[in-house]
Chain A
Amino acid sequence: MTGQPRLRPAPARLAALRPLPAGGPARAVYLALALLVVLGWVLFALRGEQFLTMENIVGIQQRSAALGIVAIGQTMVILAGSLDLSVAYLISLTSLVAAETMAGGDGMVVPAIAAVLAVSATVGLVNGLVVTGLRVHAFIATLGVGLIVAGLLDARYDGPAGSVPASFQHLGYDRIGPLPVSALLWAAVAAAAWFLLRRTRLGHRIYAVGGDAEVARLSGVRTGRVVVAAHVICSVCAGIGGLLLASRLGAGAPTVGTDGGYDLESIAAVVLGGTALAGGRGGVAGTVGGVLLLAVLDSVFNQLEIDSFAKDVVRGVVLVAALAIYARGRRTP
């Protein structure tokens, strides 16, 4: 309860392992994914059913595209040592902005996309500034900003609103062979994020700040800007998720984000993919694996028609088990 300012020595294990972004855990999640697919295949083969039918494969991708895109953004902020709990509300908001701007007209698609990107970037900027400028812990900052967005939604919308033109629905429903357009969009976002993290200065700084903000600052990184940038990217990803959902639903909906649980589920997918919640370690590849793992698990549950309550139990156990295994793997003296 002392009031004196202290410098907290960074835990040694963080510093020691920082330059190892996509190591063991990312590989582990793909191993688990492969195992799950084989297991599912055998299980359904024994029941005389087919597991990975065309509908199934398309379904897995369709179900995970929106979460996947949001989780990519969440990876960015978590790598930077922050967190974003406002994404679910932002998704709802941007789905409405998109659908209302388009209002069923083909000509308004581009302005609507621009509006969504602007709105989401603004929310991200606010998140980032509250975290860095006002020095509010990300948990409270993004929870608070999320509540503000929720208030806006409650005040303005009573239910689904707006409508997207048929041309924009191609995004949500079309596919090229077994690959839905939505999954391609997800892949593009993931690739862009991967490039940003690996090939740009900003990417390196995100790892540095998340690994140890103090060290990063001492070595000349303007840590505040990096965190703000990560938040803007995260919110823009949520905005893209909102666009995708608007195209799937044909309208905007004020509860689509919260109903989907995109806040906690995206965080779960990120850590399942081996990114450390404390920041500085992990990467996009793991997150994609984490989202796919959740989606395949869901698909198995779906085919077995498992009670949603049992699903929650299994999800919880998988989450803890995975993180315990990762923690063992990176144990250092």
Chain B
Amino acid sequence: MLAGAVLAALALPLAACTTDKPAPSAAPAATASESAGKGTGDQSKFFVQADYDAQMAMRTAQPTGPEGKPWEQTINAEPVDTAKYKKSGPYHLCFSNAAVDNPWRQVGWKTMQAEVGLHKEVTKFTALDAEGKDDKQISDIAELQGKGCDALIVSPNTTATLTPAVSGACPKVPVIVFDRGVQTDCPVTFIKPIGGYAFGAAAAEFLVDKVPAGGKILALRILPGVDVLETRWSAAKVAFDKSDLKVVGVDFTDGDAAKTKSIVGDYIQRFGKIDGVWMDAGANAVAAVEAFEDAGQPVPPINGEDQQDFLQKWQEAKLTAVAPTYPTYQWRTPVIAALRILKGEEVPKVWNLPQPTVTQENLATYLKPGMPPLHYALCGCEDLPGYPEKWGGRS
């Protein structure tokens, strides 16, 4: 066993030296060789300059569509003709859902069900939950094709791996894809908010604006390799690299609140002071804020997301904060799109939804007392029947 201890002690530094991966990390050894001394590491291989540029342009573009209903609005629409799908009601809509395994998807799923309830012409709505399994979603999509659906809505679990299944369904039924995309343009429409680059950039630009030059930034990410999260970080990296800020650490939290709090606590201890926190998702923002409180330090500028617990903390603790969003109201749009397609009305080929940012100025409008802590404020569900009880809130 003694040998085990020696082995362990030897193995660790050794393993640290032999890793080839330019791990984006706070370790001094790893940061030394990183690009431009900004501490942000190499650019993600998910980064696509053209997509980035397109999203940056969309952030300032004016959406078209009904006022006050962002889920029906669209940016840079290229309409497609849907006359060939036109048929008379009543309709049977089908939905292959990737999962309902996190609060974002929960809020979205309830919102979608309520939206379906608004439309009398939808007499049947069949939804299958793939429980986060690619293989199950492939079978689900195949199974739904045998159920006589008039339109098929898909929220893919993984972009690349669901492509064959979606391609297979396209010739048989009009397909609507939302949230994550697929690598084929066969769906009639693909619905998404502006995207991850816009999210990451909004948060990073806020920090660049609020944190004094030379300030130390800690970037917290959930996990590597997820396309929708990689884009957020890669846009933030672009912004930080252009700034005078110093990113002292990029760490992964696994989406775990306790781990987030521990990591932030470690950085505060190691650097004495952290001047700004960037997060690729808001779920653990409150834990990060608490780490500063527990260390007896003022909370530096930070970004979260539109979850109630963060917005509430923001107001109570008077934080300098911003909350970019990935709105859950996008779960309403696929149902609306499906009905438009079945009625032969035009829909955009890529339906870019506006993606608002919660700021100090509009914070009060998004803060919804009585809603559960993990509720997403941009659900667009306030006017739907059953609100707020159905979403776990109190009126």
Contacts and interface: CB of A to CB of B under 8 A. Distances in A.
A–B contact at 8 Å CB threshold (below): yes
A192 B168 CA distance: 33
Contacts of B146: 53-56
B224 interface: yes
A279 interface: no
B225 A308 contact: no
B161 A259 contact: no
B205 interface: no
Given A63-B135, A253-B134, A259-B132, A56 B143 contact: yes
B143 A159 contact: no
Contacts of B48: none
Interface string A138-179: 000000000000000011011110000000010001000000
A305 to B, nearest CB: 6
Interface string B136-160: 1011101101110000000001111
A253 B128 contact: no
B12 to A, nearest CB: 14
A113 B200 CA distance: 41
Contacts of A28: none
A250 B126 contact: no
B138 A308 contact: no
A248 interface: yes
Given A63-B139, A245-B135, A249-B134, A159 B127 contact: no
Contacts of B101: 308
A59 interface: yes
A158 B230 contact: yes
B100 interface: yes
Contacts of B157: 259
A66 B139 CA distance: 12
Contact of B161 (A158, A173, A249): A249
B15 to A, nearest CB: 10
Nearest to B125: A305
A169 B139 CA distance: 14
A253 B158 contact: yes
Interface string A239-273: 00000010011110110100111000000000000
A254 B139 CA distance: 20
B145 A55 contact: yes
Contacts of B160: 159-160, 249-251, 253
B242 interface: no
A245 B139 CA distance: 12
Instruction: Give the most central of B134, B135, B163, B164: most A CB within 10 Å.
Output: B135
Contacts of A308: 99-101, 129, 131
A59 B145 CA distance: 11
Interface in B90-138: 99-101, 126-129, 131-136, 138
A249 B140 CA distance: 13
B134 A259 contact: yes
A160 B161 contact: yes
B225 A158 contact: yes
Nearest to A49: B147
Contact of A160 (B131, B147, B158): B158
B134 A62 contact: no
A175 to B, nearest CB: 10
Contacts of B99: 308
Nearest to B20: A155
Contact of A260 (B135, B164, B224, B227): B135
B131 A159 contact: no
Interface in A91-148: none
Contacts of A245: 134-135
A157 B164 CA distance: 21
Nearest to A247: B164
A158 B45 contact: yes
B19 interface: yes
Given A55-B147, A158-B224, A62 B161 contact: no
Contacts of B139: 59, 62-63
A260 B159 CA distance: 17
Interface in A55-69: 55-56, 58-59, 62-63, 66
A54 to B, nearest CB: 7
B226 interface: yes
A153 to B, nearest CB: 10
B84 interface: no
Contacts of A259: 132-134, 157
A53 B134 CA distance: 23
Interface string A261-294: 1000000000000000000000000000000000
Contacts of A58: 142
List 6 A-B pairs, minimum CB-CB distance, nearest first. Answer: A55-B146, A158-B225, A249-B161, A160-B160, A59-B143, A250-B164
Interface of A: 53-56, 58-59, 62-63, 66, 154-155, 157-160, 169, 173, 245, 248-251, 253-254, 256, 259-261, 302, 305, 307-308
10 contacts: A55-B147, A56-B143, A62-B142, A158-B46, A159-B158, A169-B164, A249-B134, A251-B160, A259-B133, A305-B128
Given A53-B146, A159-B160, 17 more contacts: A59-B140, A155-B19, A157-B225, A158-B225, A158-B230, A160-B159, A245-B134, A249-B160, A250-B161, A250-B164, A253-B134, A256-B161, A260-B135, A260-B136, A261-B133, A302-B143, A307-B129
